[in-house]
Amino acid sequence: MITTAPHRSITACRSCGAGPLETLMAFGQSPLADRLTVPGGSDPEYRAPLTLCHCPACSLCQLRETVEPDILFHSAYPYFSSVSPALVAHFTDSAQCLIDSFSQASDVFVVEAASNDGTMLAPFQAAGHRVLGIDPAAAPVAEARRKGIPTDQVFFTAGHARHIRDRHGPADLFIANNVLAHVADVNDFVAGIAILLKDQGCAVIEVPSLMALVDDCAFDTIYHQHLLYLSLTALAPLFSRHGLVLTDAEKVWVHGGSFRLRIARHGAPSARLLDLMAEEARRDMGTRAFFDPFLQRIRTLCDETRAAVTDLANQGMRIAAYGAAAKGTTLLHMLDLPAGALRHVYDKSPWKAGKAMPGSGLVIRPASELSRDDVDAVLLLAWNFADEILSENRRFLEAGGQFLIPVPKLRHVRRPTP
Ligand code: JHZ
């Protein structure tokens, strides 16, 4: 049964409050990513309109619809950071750099919003620091607690920041990776950072970059959980509204291209931050003209990918998908392939196996089962881990299997001819 998820549509910018917002692209009634279904189960499959807009006043790119967070971040939320080794390595390295920067300090208090299964906080705890995770999703929180990482199972808000400060004191370091873009009341979230930080404290926040999204045509990362698509131009005034300063931005590879931001109460922008902001200004990121070629590329990329899958199917190939990633929900929705074009989807996560992707209904099978005995070609939905996944599935390629990688540009990967 398909049900429209409870949602509201905004009329004013989520950051500066100006209106009206300008619509960039309507994706129609899209299934909710990460709300996997149980094959043969009685739970409804939720969908909701998905509309990308931007604010002509502060240039924040955002979704018009806000789906009820309890529906999005439900008790069986299936995303666990620890499933992807490259991501674990990224967070562990990042944690180690921050730990080194506190080597002279004692009694360091580290708070992480959207701490998931505690992957990022574990090294801080091992280094002897006080840590506290905040995350609303029951299953990853249970996993974090099992590992001994104290975690509050709530959404991070200004109210909860006050509660933490009263209970534990102010934070030396506030971490928030891949969460700011998920927050409907972004002013409340940033106000929470301002409440929680010590005078000399700092926040380190990773956010997907809008410029990388547009340059790499990563349109499939547009889904209901991602309410904001972030540029430095739109972020700087958001932080300053709450007495905080964006002092640095560094490009990192995760999730198809992100920024690692540093925010503090005092400080001047670093040279690399100024360079990145100058690049955004040069490219007119706040204007409709910046988006038009990207919107056209989405249509072309979908047409090419659909044609490539159809072509393989016409050659009698058995095709599956790989990576039941959240972003795969948008890609499959936009491809709108005929039923049966893809047989199922492989994924490494034990929390996803046996469930099905919403919309397409593709049943998720353990990644270890990918074999030439079952399929000839695979559409890679988790294209951001292409290197890792191709190297792990060398045997499938050597046996004559092939990968179709849709983003940033459709490419076929086959065994090199001898
Ligand atoms: P991955 C996630 O999006 C979830 P997703 C979330 N919605 C969000 O906001 C963004 O991150 C930022 C699997 N896999 O990490 C694991 C393999 O099967 O790109 C995952 O299911 N084999 C919170 O879900 C999926 O692919 C492998 O070798 O789009 C990747 O999902 C590897 C490396 C991964 O994020």
- 297 and 261 within one domain: no
Q: Ligand 1 centre from 325 Cα, in Å? A: 5
For ligand 1, whether the C-beta of 367 sits within 6 Å is: yes
Q: Ligand 1 centre from 393 Cα, in Å? A: 17
Q: From CA 291, how far away is CA 210, in angstroms rounded?
A: 10
For ligand 1, whether the C-beta of 348 sits within 6 Å is: yes
Q: What is the mean pLDDT of the chain?
A: 95
Range with the lowest mean pLDDT among 97-106, 168-177, 178-187?
97-106
Q: Which residues contact 397 (CB under 8 A, 6 or more apart)?
A: 390, 403, 413, 414, 415
For ligand 1, whether the C-beta of 376 sits within 6 Å is: no
Render pLDDT for 223-235 as a digit per residue (tens, 0 to 9): 999 999 999 999 9
- At residue 245, what is the residue type? V
- At residue 2, what is the residue type? I
Q: Ligand 1 centre from 170 Cα, in Å? A: 33
Handedness of CA 309, 403, 217, 36 (dihedral sign): positive
* pLDDT (0 to 100) of residue 239: 98
Residue closest to 214 by CA, chosen among 289, 326, 303: 289
Maximum distance among all Cα pairs of the chain, rounded to whole angstroms: 66
Render pLDDT for 317-361 as a digit per residue (tens, 0 to 9): 999 999 999 999 999 999 999 999 999 999 999 999 999 999 999
For ligand 1, whether the C-beta of 382 sits within 6 Å is: yes
Q: What is the CATH number for 259?
A: 3.40.50.150
For ligand 1, whether the C-beta of 84 sits within 6 Å is: yes
* pLDDT (0 to 100) of residue 418: 57
- 368 and 306 within one domain: yes
Q: Is pLDDT at 184 greater than 60 in this prediction?
A: yes
* pLDDT (0 to 100) of residue 77: 81
Residues in the chain: 418
For ligand 1, whether the C-beta of 223 sits within 6 Å is: no
Q: Is pLDDT at 416 greater than 80 in this prediction?
A: no
Q: Is pLDDT at 82 greater than 80 in this prediction?
A: no
For ligand 1, whether the C-beta of 32 sits within 6 Å is: no
- 117 and 17 within one domain: no
Which structural domain range is residue 404 located in?
Answer: 292-413
Residue 234 has phi, psi (to 5 degrees) of: -85, -25
H or E element in which residue 88 lies:
helix 85-101
- 132 and 93 within one domain: yes
Query: Is residue 39 within 8 Å of 81, Cβ to Cβ?
Result: no
Is position 277 within any domain? no
Q: Report the nearest atom of ligand 1 relative to the CA of 367.
A: 18
Q: What is the CATH number for 372?
A: 3.40.50.720
Domain end position, chosen among 23, 38, 64: 64
- 261 and 394 within one domain: no
Q: Is pLDDT at 181 greater than 60 in this prediction?
A: yes
For ligand 1, whether the C-beta of 347 sits within 6 Å is: yes
For ligand 1, whether the C-beta of 178 sits within 6 Å is: yes
- 132 and 29 within one domain: no
Q: From CA 306, how far away is CA 81, in angstroms rounded?
A: 30
Domain count, the chain: 3
- 231 and 349 within one domain: no
Domain end position, chosen among 31, 64, 97: 64
Q: Is pLDDT at 85 greater than 90 in this prediction?
A: no
Q: Ligand 1 centre from 347 Cα, in Å? A: 9
pLDDT band per the 50, 70, 90 thresholds, residue 406: very high
Is position 283 within any domain? no
Determine if residue 217 is left, alpha or beta; phi over 0 gives left, psi from -120 to 50 gives alpha, anything else beta: left
- 312 and 262 within one domain: no
Q: From CA 347, how far away is CA 127, in angstroms rounded?
A: 33
Ligand 1, atom 1, residue with closest C-alpha? 325
Q: Ligand 1 centre from 381 Cα, in Å? A: 9
- 129 and 33 within one domain: no
Q: Which of 222, 332, 347 to mutate to test the pocket of ligand 1 (most atoms within 8 A of CB)?
A: 347
- 105 and 244 within one domain: yes
Q: What is the mean pLDDT of residues 271-280?
A: 97
Residue 194 has phi, psi (to 5 degrees) of: -65, -35
Q: What is the mean pLDDT of residues 203-217?
A: 97
Render pLDDT for 355-370 as a digit per residue (tens, 0 to 9): 999 999 999 999 999 9
DSSP state of 230: B
pLDDT band per the 50, 70, 90 thresholds, residue 285: very high
Q: Which residues pair with 267 in a beta bridge?
A: none
Q: Which of 32, 225, 348 to mutate to test the pocket of ligand 1 (most atoms within 8 A of CB)?
A: 348
Distance of alpha carbon 118 from its chain centroid, rounded? 17
Q: Which of 226, 327, 394 to mutate to test the pocket of ligand 1 (most atoms within 8 A of CB)?
A: 327
Is position 136 within any domain? yes
- 258 and 175 within one domain: yes
DSSP 175-216: EEES-GGG-SSHHHHHHHHHHHEEEEEEEEEEEEBHHHHHHT
